[in-house]
């Protein structure tokens, strides 16, 4: 396995108007991110609509990411599903394609006790052929308690966690109780600099794919102990994050990609009305103005 560290994007998915994946644009988007400093690729996460896509499309996104990476950067893929068989299928396909790691959020809808979740993840880790990262994302799936995280961190083949709780106190405790070689990634872009200061390995976020030059610069600045620079960029991103989260997820973030010149925000597999889509695109100028403000505040040029 290639070492996972640094800035990863929670990749969004572009579509053609008929709802099929825009493969050419997805690859262009991945190539752009790598050229702007990303340390790897993360497909089939929440921002990529994974839980609204059929398994064939999820496998397609893995394949496209692999074509772009060309073994130069590592790839982690989400395998979360309440259809347990699909989780195993995705894990096996990732192994066959030569991806590097798997990310698993807890299965949702059917309520499982903490003991049942532990047994499920332990069993899965023993069967899959790639290193497994667990995913704490209370926004969409059952949250992981500190006690459960600590127990899971000691299981063979569970090598790390992506924490999207947004809870800095929990993240501090996670870093304190897990083994020293257990990878901790932050999933909330608002706290990238702080997470790195506490000892996190890197990030996996939507903003990482939309503004890779900003998130990569935070990572670089923190490693060089240029804390003022990292915090300046971190603060500049906040208005973009608020804008993105104020719209139906992940369409607010997709709109930034459209503002940057990519073919996004024209279709969603989620049940948004035509009126809602039309209203979203009326916000395009607002997204462009936020980008201009970020350029002025940081001195980072936004171009593709």
- As a residue count, the chain comes to 304
Going by the DSSP 8-state scheme, the letter that residue 37 receives in this structure is T
Find tokens 């698993």 and name the residue: 104
Give every CB contact of residue 54 below 8 A, 6+ residues apart in sequence: none
DSSP 22: -
Annotated binding site for pyruvate: 204
* Residue 275 contacts residue 301 (beta carbons within 8 Å): no
Within 13 Å of residue 227, how many CA atoms lie on the same side as its CB?
6
Binding-site positions? 204
Among residues 15, 29, 135, 219, the one annotated as catalytic is 135
Catalytic residue among 162, 247, 258, 283: 162
Tell me if residue 135 is catalytic: yes
Question: Does residue 125 contact residue 158 with C-beta atoms inside 8 Å?
Answer: yes
Catalytic-residue membership of 162? yes
DSSP string, 218-264: HHHHHHTT-HHHHHHHHHHHHHHHHHHHTSSTTHHHHHHHHHTT-S-
Angle at CA 237, nearest 5°, toward 236 and 242?
A: 120
Secondary structure of the chain: what % helix, strand, coil (to 5)?
A: 50, 10, 35
Q: Beta-carbon neighbour count of residue 215 at 10 Å?
A: 29
Catalytic residues: 135, 162
């Amino acid at each position: 396995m290639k070492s996972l560290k640094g800035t990863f994007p929670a990749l969004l998915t572009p579509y053609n108007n008929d709802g099929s994946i825009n493969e050419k644009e997805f690859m262009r988007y991945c190539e752009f991110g790598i050229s702007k400093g990303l340390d790897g690729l993360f497909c089939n996460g929440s921002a990529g609509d994974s839980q609204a896509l059929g398994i064939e499309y999820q496998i397609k996104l893995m394949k496209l990411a692999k074509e772009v990476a060309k073994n130069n950067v590592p790839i982690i893929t989400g395998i979360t599903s309440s259809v347990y068989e699909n989780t195993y299928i995705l894990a096996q396909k990732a192994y066959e394609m030569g991806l590097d790691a798997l990310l698993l959020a807890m299965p949702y809808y059917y309520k499982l006790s903490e003991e049942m979740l532990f047994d499920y993840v332990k069993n899965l880790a023993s069967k899959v052929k790639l290193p497994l990262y667990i995913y704490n994302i209370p926004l969409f799936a059952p949250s992981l308690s500190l006690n459960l995280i600590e127990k899971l961190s000691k299981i063979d083949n569970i090598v790390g966690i992506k924490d999207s709780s947004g809870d800095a106190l929990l993240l501090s405790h996670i870093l304190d109780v897990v083994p020293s070689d257990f990878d901790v990634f932050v999933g909330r872009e608002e706290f990238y600099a702080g997470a790195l200061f506490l000892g996190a390995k890197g990030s996996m976020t939507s903003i990482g794919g939309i503004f890779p030059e900003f998130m990569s610069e935070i990572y670089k600045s923190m490693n060089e102990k240029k804390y003022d620079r990292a915090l300046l960029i971190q603060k500049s991103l906040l208005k973009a994050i608020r804008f993105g989260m104020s719209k139906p997820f992940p369409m607010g973030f997709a709109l930034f990609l459209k503002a940057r010149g990519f073919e996004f925000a024209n279709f969603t597999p989620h049940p948004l009305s035509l009126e809602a889509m039309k209203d979203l695109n009326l916000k395009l100028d607002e997204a462009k103005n936020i980008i201009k403000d970020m350029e002025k505040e940081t001195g980072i040029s936004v171009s593709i």
